[in-house]
Amino acid sequence: MRVLVQRSGEAKCIVDEKITGKIKKGLVLFVGFTEGDNQESISYLVHKIINLRIFDDENHIMNKSILEMEDSKILSISQFTLYADTKKGNRPSYQKALNGQQAIQLYNLFNQELAKYIPVETGIFGADMKIHLVNDGPVTIWLER
């Protein structure tokens, strides 16, 4: 399981010209799954994400987690391309990405687990999504399990 975490000043997901998810201050998560990912992988990364100290404290030091930020949310976006393999040629291979049926189940579990701690907005799994993101900082963190 891979999650690209971006601290956001604001973000939204648009599918077919409709907003499916929108946040102000918070985190945008791009989430991908591979063979062997399970509830343990999800629990580990959810715990890591909600406790990741990447928000500024009163001294402008990244020392606060999203749980400590007032009115913050998460925008979670499924993204199988996190498992792109570019070692051969110029066309990425996505063979390491989990198939859609299995991945959507894990993605839904991941979002449900996150929602126990903080409000979660989402895109639409498998859709052609347009993500508008103001990366705050910029702060971008790669997590993997």
Q: Spell out the domains of the chain, with CATH numbers in brackets.
A: 2-144 (3.50.80.10)
- The rounded distance, in Å, linking the Cα atoms of 107 and 98 is 11
Render pLDDT for 49-63 as a digit per residue (tens, 0 to 9).
999 999 999 999 999
Render pLDDT for 21-50 as a digit per residue (tens, 0 to 9).
999 999 999 999 999 999 999 999 999 999
Q: What distance separates the 2 farthest-apart alpha carbons in the chain? A: 48
23 and 121 in contact (C-beta within 8 Å)? yes
Which one of 34, 81, 86, 140 is the catalytic residue? 81
pTM: 0.95
14 and 20 in contact (C-beta within 8 Å)? yes
- Point out which residues pair with 68 in neighbouring strands: none
Is position 34 annotated as part of the catalytic site?
no
- The rounded distance, in Å, linking the Cα atoms of 75 and 120 is 6
Render pLDDT for 56-107 as a digit per residue (tens, 0 to 9).
999 999 999 999 999 999 999 999 999 999 999 999 999 999 999 999 999 9
The residue among 77, 81, 65, 59 whose CA lies nearest residue 139 is 65
The residue among 28, 42, 25, 43 whose CA lies nearest residue 77 is 28
